[in-house]
Structure 1
Amino acid sequence: MKILVAVDGTKYSREAALWAVKIAKKEKEAKLIAVYVERQLSKEDYLLSDDELDIRIEKKANEIFEKSFEDIDLEGIEVEKVVERGSPASKILDVSDREDVDLIVVGNSSRSGINNFFLGSVSDKVFTYSVRPVLVVKTREKEPVIETVAIT
């Protein structure tokens, strides 16, 4: 089973990573594809060469991957890290198609009101436009416990 989990360094994506790992541990030969999408560039980024920008984004992505999976037991799970640039929802959907994943796991920041209406959330867009199963994870106060998972 291939599980894509979107990470961005927030507590919401950390919760998504936790759920993705818990589901992967219940499956035989599970592969986790962690995707980080660099959405915006700063003014300073435009002054960098392409190589310097790639190095900066790669460093930031590695920090986010480390933070997202810190203290999570990944024993027995293959993890592939993917870094993209652009619109997060579009890139997550692109990677899910390219990698032919069985499940997409994303965190939900629970935004509401006018900001969500105009901007839309990544989880909403992924859920709406994906042709694959999507698990949208809300943040909880305590660690989730999964007894059984059936995906059909």
Structure 2
Amino acid sequence: MSQQYEHIMVAIDGSHESELAFLKGVHVAKRNNAQLLLVHVIDTRALQSIMTFDSYIYEKLEDEAKAVLANYERQAREAGLTKIRKVIEFGNPKSLLAVDIPDKENVDLIMIGATGLNTFERLLVGSSSEYILRHAKVDLLVVRDSEKTL
């Protein structure tokens, strides 16, 4: 069975693994003539535990996210893609990446980098990849770094 994807979402969090997901996402988007959706979620849960709402912190984080996504957009255009969108959201990354953004943006493939969490770390903080796997309504591709051994 052949699957043609039209709207591919890549979750960008600044990690090496998300960069690998981006690179693979560019190739998959090219093969499918699909729109590439570059998504970064600023985790407000972590910010709330550190301080009360300080607009300067949010603006700085948003500016940094815009710069990172602009760099990825430039790379995707250089690779030959023309249908690219960038999305920056504030909130819980797990639910936003698993359901909210894919529903809103009509995503049919989610691509994320595998985290390097071990079993104990996953118990403490949870794995976004695992959450998305369990809750996403569309196909999910978890990109792993073949150089790393766990």
TM-score range, shorter chain: 0.7 to 0.9
Does residue 114 of the first structure (1) align with residue 120 of the second (2)? yes
Give distance in 1, aligned partners of 2:50 and 2:116. 31
User: What do you get for the CA RMSD once the two structures are aligned?
Assistant: 2.3
- The SS at the match of 2:47 is coil
Query: TM-score, normalized by length of structure 1?
Result: 0.79
Does residue 98 of the first structure (1) align with residue 107 of the second (2)? no
Which amino acid counterpart does residue 31 of structure 2 have in structure 1? Answer: K
On the 8 A contact 1:18/1:69 being kept in 2, the answer is: no
Give distance in 2, aligned partners of 1:43 and 1:127. 27
Partner residue of 2:12 out of 7, 28, 37 = 7
1:1-152 matches, cutoff 5 A = 1-28=6-33, 30-39=34-43, 40-41=46-47, 46=52, 48-49=54-55, 52-66=56-70, 68=72, 71=75, 73-92=78-97, 93-141=99-147
Which amino acid counterpart does residue 77 of structure 1 have in structure 2? Answer: T
Q: Which runs of 5 or more residues in structure 2 are unaligned?
A: 1-5
Runs of 4 or more off by more than 6 Å in structure 1? Answer: 42-45
Query: TM-score, normalized by length of structure 2?
Result: 0.80
Q: Write the deviation string for residues 66-107 of structure 1: whole angstroms up to 9, x where unpaired.
A: 455675534233211111111111111210011111100000
Shift in Å at residue 118 of structure 1? 2.7
Q: Write the deviation string for residues 41-72 of structure 1: whole angstroms up to 9, x where unpaired.
A: 278864634xx455323211123324556755
Which amino acid counterpart does residue 26 of structure 2 have in structure 1? Answer: V
Q: Percent identity?
A: 29
Which amino acid counterpart does residue 60 of structure 2 have in structure 1? Answer: R
Give distance in 2, aligned partners of 1:102 and 1:139. 23
Q: 1:43 to 1:121 in 2, by over 3 A?
A: closer
Q: Which runs of 5 or more residues in structure 1 are unaligned?
A: 142-152
How many residue pairs get aligned? The number is 138
Give distance in 2, aligned partners of 1:44 and 1:134. 32
